Amino acid sequence: MKIAVLIPCYNEEQTIGKVISDFQRELPEADIYVYDNNSKDRTSEVASQHGAIVRKETRQGKGHVVRSMFREIDADIYVMVDGDDTYPAEFVHRLIEPIKNKEANMVIGDRLSNGTYFQENKRPFHNFGNNLVKGLINFLYKSDIKDIMTGYRAFDKWFVKSMPVMSPGFEIETEMSIHALDKKFLIKEVPIDYRDRPEGSESKLNTFSDGWKVLKMIFTLFKDYKPFLFFSLWALLFFILGLAAGIPVIVEFAKTSFITRIPSAILAVGLMIFALLSFACGLILDTVAAAHRKQYELELNQIYKQMRREENDYIS
């Protein structure tokens, strides 16, 4: 099987050489790709010196890098890892084993289960953000994924070539997790160790701005993937507010046959109309989403048939 190690990079001169060397030691047969995302240091030069295949991605953001990687690279197994030396290369065999055995389409390197992430990561808001995002997604999809936002993953070709990458930046890990859950890909988690960045290496993440982007991504994907539930919740909210505004008006009318709370009556009617419109939008968009899922399944079948033809041609 052809294995490709994908390393998106931005200003990782200090660590990229070690990351490449570690994966060359663990997977000597793999092709290692480093995509330089407008680095201002010697990341590309160091990567080339260590034998990696270096390519450029001029659109800033990890999502843009992953989109280009998935489009341009052909392999049977893909391993994606950050270039900051926080993910030990020795765990890569555990990640690719379920892909080789066709037990999973995406394998997640779970940093959280064995506790090393909480010991090594000195940013408490990151831990809070991870737990918040994990809780929201597991609640929405009734799943039990332990680590939604890890950057250490393995994929098969079927997942990579059918993944529509829409995120421009750091939200890409969340998008991949939600996409896999929604489209019912086989997911497996493998506990891994995590180590913080070496001294002198600076994180590119901003706790609050990147956290907001991730939450906005969850909000958007929730609307796109589960529109009936999304708009039903809004309809319920408007309905409750409409009742709160309208019940005093109804009680007054029942007692006196007059309405003096004209503004409250108008507000209640408006809120009930919003509730009805939200519910109707949910029904319509749920039908559209169901049709999209059917079309996506047909496209997956075509991708699978193409992959099987390529395998048969290779064998023959």
Q: Are 240 and 155 in the same domain?
A: no
From 225, 240, 255, give the residue that closes a domain: 225
Q: Are 141 and 171 in the same domain?
A: yes
Q: Are 214 and 253 in the same domain?
A: no
- Predicted confidence band of residue 233 (pLDDT cuts 50, 70, 90): very high
User: How many structural domains comprise the chain?
Assistant: 2
Average pLDDT over every residue of 175-183: 90
pLDDT in tens, 55-113: 999 999 999 999 999 999 999 999 999 999 999 999 999 999 999 999 999 999 998 88
Range of the domain at 270: 227-315
Q: Are 260 and 175 in the same domain?
A: no
Q: Are 242 and 180 in the same domain?
A: no
Average pLDDT over every residue of 138-152: 89
pLDDT at 36: 94
Q: Are 148 and 9 in the same domain?
A: yes
Among 121-125, 168-172, 255-259, the least confident range: 121-125
Q: Are 60 and 92 in the same domain?
A: yes
From 225, 245, 265, give the residue that closes a domain: 225
From 195, 225, 255, give the residue that closes a domain: 225
d(C-alpha 146, C-alpha 130), whole Å: 10
pLDDT in tens, 195-230: 876 765 565 556 567 667 777 878 887 888 889 999
Q: Are 195 and 113 in the same domain?
A: yes
Which tops the pLDDT comparison, 187 or 120?
187
Q: Are 77 and 202 in the same domain?
A: yes
Q: What CATH number does residue 168 fall under?
A: 3.90.550.10
Average pLDDT over every residue of 25-31: 96
Q: Are 291 and 188 in the same domain?
A: no
Q: Are 91 and 24 in the same domain?
A: yes
pLDDT at 316: 66
List, in order, residues 6 or more apart from 61 with CB less than 8 Å away.
37, 167, 168, 169, 170
- Predicted confidence band of residue 46 (pLDDT cuts 50, 70, 90): very high
pTM given for the model: 0.80
Q: Are 261 and 192 in the same domain?
A: no
d(C-alpha 290, C-alpha 11), whole Å: 42
Residue among 188, 92, 182, 183 at smallest CA distance from 147: 188
